[in-house]
Amino acid sequence: MANTFEAELEEQKKILREIQRHRSLWGEVGRRRATPSLRSPDMAVIPVLVMACNRPTVKRCLDKLLEYRPSAQRHPIIVSQDCGHAETAEVIGSYGTQVTHLRQPELSDVAVRTDHRKFQGYYKISRHYRWALGQVFRTLGHKTVIIVEDDLEVAPDFFEYFQALHPLLRDDPSLWCVSAWNDNGREGYVDPGQAALLYRTDFFPGLGWMMRRQLWDELEPKWPAAFWDDWMRQPEQRRDRACIRPEISRTLTFGRKGVSLGQFYDRYLRFIKLNSQFVPFTTLDLAYLQEDTYRGHYDQEVYTAPLVTYETLKQGQVTGPVRLQYSTKESFKLLARNLGVMEDLKSGVPRTGYRGVVSFMSRGQKVYLAPPPGWSHYDPTWS
């Protein structure tokens, strides 16, 4: 294993030297700009970390990653396997040098209190994430990583999407992740003509997401024993930072069975629309996603939309973007349920929410489910 890591590190050092050589060709242009352009060439090495356990169907995930990967040097694929499942290990091993296969060494049960024994799977997942991220950032020395689970299929422009957004994540301290996932991205709830549309969101989506090593430096010392994703959504971790998410998801989950026992899968997740149209994000100007620009424009867009009732919307009496207003946890959940979007909140933040606003399509028109004007903060008791 040590030899594998040393070889990987040496290879990455070669790549980084090549990157520096290329950067020198356009460094002068960059120095003349007061603000770095998000369309500048970004040659960062960004590995994909696949979190695997006991699903031989990881093959579906790996096949798509390899099919769409533009460069093996810039996007090495690292598969970290927990569970010690022989059949899954055999599938991963069949890819040979196309992937790096890491094996989580600690496979014993985690010591938990009696009433948490039923959550043993969540404890093992959190332990695996901590170990695997430590391998990527500490042992292999990477600066950025894209994390996917073994039950995710990626879209054709998956790598293009993350490559284009890497400079923004690197340079904007108000961001802490980029996600490929739209929690409300079911067919009929997204605009099929807006495959290039991206949003800021205060909700941590996961399910195919990119983070930087600086964030791991912050999170690793206090990494939780279990339920790591909900822990990420707590205000102490989020610290008023946002993620980027797409209108149309760049990942699709096909794993109904898991420790969550298919929670939300049958009702929501299996209907998520996976993007099929390649969007050349690296050629687009994504500066509109920078915080100062985005917040003002988004607030204006939301609060100049006509305020309507659910009954008016349901009867089809309005056209164009509209706004429905909630003021309590109960009114949000009722409207979300009636409108068909996810109603749960984590530390007071609704799924896909930005400044309290959840946006989606309904019967072909844009809908903003929003708090009253002047919103200032989330209420963590709304959970």
Q: Give residue-wise pLDDT tens across range 263-319.
A: 667 777 889 999 999 999 999 999 999 999 999 999 999 999 999 999 999 999 898
User: Is 229 one of the annotated active-site residues of the chain?
Assistant: yes
Q: How high is the pLDDT of residue 259? A: 55
Write the CA distances from 203 to 110, 116, 239, integer angstroms: 29, 26, 12
- What is the Cα 256 distance to its own chain's centre? 19
Q: How high is the pLDDT of residue 26? A: 33
Q: How high is the pLDDT of residue 255? A: 75
Q: How high is the pLDDT of residue 111? A: 94
Q: How high is the pLDDT of residue 125? A: 97
Q: Which of 172, 191, 229, 299 is catalytic?
A: 229
Beta carbons of 43 and 144 less than 8 angstroms apart? no
Q: How high is the pLDDT of residue 33? A: 34
d(CA 343, CA 350): 7
d(CA 111, CA 113): 7
Pairing of strands 242-246, 144-149: unpaired
Q: How high is the pLDDT of residue 266? A: 76
Q: How high is the pLDDT of residue 39? A: 54
Q: How high is the pLDDT of residue 13? A: 47
Q: How high is the pLDDT of residue 256? A: 64
370, two tokens: 């929003």
End-to-end CA distance of the chain: 43
110 DSSP 8-state letter: P
The pTM of the full predicted model, rounded to 2 decimals, is: 0.88
Beta carbons of 315 and 358 less than 8 angstroms apart? no
d(CA 281, CA 244): 13
d(CA 319, CA 353): 23
Give the closest residue to 235 by CA, choosing from 377, 77, 73: 377
243 DSSP 8-state letter: E
Q: pLDDT by residue for the chain (383 residues), tens digit each? A: 445 445 544 544 443 444 343 333 333 333 333 344 455 567 899 999 999 999 999 999 999 999 999 999 999 999 999 999 999 999 999 999 999 999 999 999 999 999 999 999 999 999 999 999 999 999 999 999 999 999 999 999 999 999 999 999 999 999 999 999 999 999 999 999 999 999 999 999 999 999 999 999 999 999 999 999 999 999 999 999 999 999 999 999 997 665 554 666 777 788 999 999 999 999 999 999 999 999 999 999 999 999 999 999 999 989 899 999 999 999 999 999 999 999 999 999 999 999 999 999 999 999 999 999 999 999 999 98
- What is the Cα 162 distance to its own chain's centre? 10
Q: Give residue-wise pLDDT tens across range 137-172.
A: 999 999 999 999 999 999 999 999 999 999 999 999
Q: How high is the pLDDT of residue 18? A: 41
Q: How high is the pLDDT of residue 144? A: 98
Burial level of 81, CB count in 10 A (0-12/13-18/19+)?
buried
Write the CA distances from 340 to 168, 269, 331, integer angstroms: 32, 13, 14
Write the CA distances from 265 to 116, 178, 192, 270, integer angstroms: 23, 22, 22, 6
